[in-house]
Amino acid sequence: MEKQPKNYGEAIAEVEAILARFSGGELDVDTLAAQVKRATELIAWCRVRLEKAEKDVVEALGGGKE
């Protein structure tokens, strides 16, 4: 398994780099599947961080209770 990103920004930067290589036609068939898998893992990692941040914000604001 690839190294985990240090933070959300690093993960997004790596996904963007993969997308740039894909869009620029820099990925050959042999590396395409591995890069798509890596991007999928990073997006899932980001989703977990975003969900946690959302939960933390809701809790900080009183759990949405008025």
Q: Give the pLDDT confidence of 26-66 residue by residue, as tens digits.
A: 888 889 999 999 999 999 999 999 999 999 999 999 876 55
CA pseudo-torsion sign 42, 22, 9, 62: negative
Q: Which residue has the tokens 């050959």?
A: 28
Amino acid of residue 55: K
Q: Which two tokens stand for residue 20?
A: 């740039």
**pTM score over 0.75:** yes
Contact 27, 35 (CB under 8 A): yes
What is the per-residue burial (b if ≥16 Cβ within 10 Å, else e) of 7-33?
eeeebeebbeebeeeeeeeebeeeeee
